[in-house]
Structure 1
């Protein structure tokens, strides 16, 4: 057999080897670099102002609204500017250890180390940004940051406090549009479950999810359990629990200001960031199951009466369905009469 015809030239064999290595590399790395995302060609850097606005009111989210120990509030913002091949978190993917610690405990050290390590390994991270926590469900926090063409994406995460492992945030907002920067970007935020704790309510005790679930968005019907703090079966969609506004800052010779202190008010702050009307979400009354029928009370030989009761689990709010009767009776005949 003539084996020379089966032998590839050296240059062609080398090409095959490189292709094979690239293929294997794509299988090993969970997040290959996307090739279908338009490249940013903006020639200059851009500065942005980030305004986070909490909309977590008792009127909009009346079910189990936390008022004490601790009351409804928001953690500090942890964000990063990056390229398209990095993700701080992703819907329908597993949360990292850093995201787990932040969403469960509000501890950011591991998450920041993960961001720094990613920047050293794949050079896809440009900078970390943060803003102070909001003391209240409806306050604001602001900060400023810089982006440039190679790192035109923004991701951030804010913990819902109190909660088992719930958060809001954005994954990879691109602030670049071809050869220029977007002037304004506004995004309504909805709750997510990090998939690391199995609690149903804001104040649930720690109950680790084994095995770990993927990050999922919490909706008015998912998880489909009446104990869930966001379960509103009458609603098609939850109202936004927060909002982020990104505004391009006009370049001046001034130094970028430090992050502004958050508002500490139970009222929604006034300003251009607040355009939505206050939302009143109806909350229907919830009652327990009936108790067993009680003893039949009456004279022997005559019909008697027995009762059963139930109690209120959740009082109605915002014109929700009223509570049904909590006591019921029926006729009966006494047993064991002498």
Structure 2
């Protein structure tokens, strides 16, 4: 996938959609808000800076880590500010066609159309935000956005590249607390499966899930299959594969900003807001099943030896369990010896 070309074309389309959504957000009338959720009573709008930190490193996720064709990276971030009666995506619910296309291919056209239609139909969407793609597993992207009392929620999604239909994101985080806006919010991100592709590994070929499954969180033991790229049975929990910092900033006359342009280097700078100790996830050696026993090598009437072998599927990393013996022998006697 040509990440740079896709990012530029998507950003251009997002610019026009943002203008449309801002016009929509300013022109709609208030609708009744569900009474079973806390009401935001903040009198003024608030602006936030969103910083996404990729934590998808070989040390933290050594199993089948994609180094090339393509290497580990992140798609652009697509987000929405909205009211409580809208969801871009939800855990344990079916992905929309727009979420499906974005989770599988990083294509945002259908997803943006769905957001636009939701804003027109139920007047629940205020604005769209985006941030440029990150060309490595570890790196960052930034953008800014605005919220107000009627639309105090934030949702977003980022596609893992490469992957079958895996993504990270947030569903409906409320940035309002009563009549006050939250100053800082730190969110740890874990991978989700969109339920539309049945691949187990980062580089699995396209294999459509029929019938479609619901969106589920990927864990160290689910899917419970050793071929799964996130299968680490020794871990109780996966380390976060990403983090997001939301920081309230001084209000300006600008309603929403365009994505912050990527810098020359996507590597995390020293002294940034999130300081983590280096995570080294142990990866145990994985071997195949034993081959059948070979022929018995002996003279008639004498005992001999026969052998069987197995091979290494996954070499250990980060002090994981070493590989066991790859060859065994046992005594035998020839059958049908004349």
Superposition TM-score, scaled by structure 1 size: 0.88
* Conserved 8 A contact 2:134-2:266: no
Equivalences for residues 179-190 of structure 1 within 5 A: 179-190=179-190
Deviations along 1:155-213, one digit per CA (max 9) or x if unpaired, are: 00000010000000000010111111111001000000000000000000000001000
The aligned residue for residue 178 of structure 1 is 178
| Residues 64 and 265 of structure 1, relative CA distance in 2, 3 Å threshold | farther
Correspondence 1:224 to 2:224? yes
Aligned-residue offset at 1:335? 2.4
- Residues paired across the two proteins, number: 307
SS in 1 for 2:299: coil
Runs of 4+ in 1 over 6 A off after TM superposition: 253-256
CA distance in 2, matches of 1:253, 1:121: 28
The aligned residue for residue 20 of structure 1 is none
Aligned-residue offset at 1:259? 2.5
The aligned residue for residue 142 of structure 1 is 142
Equivalences for residues 248-287 of structure 1 within 5 A: 248-252=248-252, 258-263=258-263, 265=265, 267-287=267-287
Query: Where does structure 2 lack aligned partners over 5 or more consecutive residues?
Result: 1-31
* Conserved 8 A contact 1:134-1:263: no
Equivalences for residues 191-202 of structure 1 within 5 A: 191-202=191-202
* Conserved 8 A contact 2:140-2:266: no
CA distance in 1, matches of 2:204, 2:145: 35
Aligned-residue offset at 1:254? 7.6
Deviations along 1:297-319, one digit per CA (max 9) or x if unpaired, are: 11111111100000000000000
The aligned residue for residue 83 of structure 1 is 83
CA distance in 2, matches of 1:310, 1:263: 48
The aligned residue for residue 4 of structure 1 is none
The aligned residue for residue 13 of structure 2 is none
SS in 2 for 1:113: helix
| Residues 293 and 238 of structure 1, relative CA distance in 2, 3 Å threshold | same
CA distance in 2, matches of 1:184, 1:267: 23
CA distance in 2, matches of 1:257, 1:81: 13
The aligned residue for residue 241 of structure 2 is 241
Equivalences for residues 62-141 of structure 1 within 5 A: 62-141=62-141
SS in 1 for 2:169: strand
Larger radius of gyration: 1
Deviations along 1:268-291, one digit per CA (max 9) or x if unpaired, are: 432333211110000000000000
| Residues 186 and 294 of structure 1, relative CA distance in 2, 3 Å threshold | same
Aligned-residue offset at 1:251? 2.5
* Conserved 8 A contact 1:41-1:179: yes
CA distance in 2, matches of 1:34, 1:326: 63
* Conserved 8 A contact 1:135-1:264: no
Equivalences for residues 22-41 of structure 1 within 5 A: 34-41=34-41
Moved more, 269-278 or 230-239: 269-278
The aligned residue for residue 315 of structure 1 is 315
Equivalences for residues 160-171 of structure 1 within 5 A: 160-171=160-171
CA distance in 2, matches of 1:325, 1:266: 42
CA distance in 1, matches of 2:264, 2:295: 56
The aligned residue for residue 294 of structure 1 is 294
CA distance in 2, matches of 1:215, 1:255: 32
* Conserved 8 A contact 1:140-1:263: no
CA distance in 1, matches of 2:143, 2:134: 13
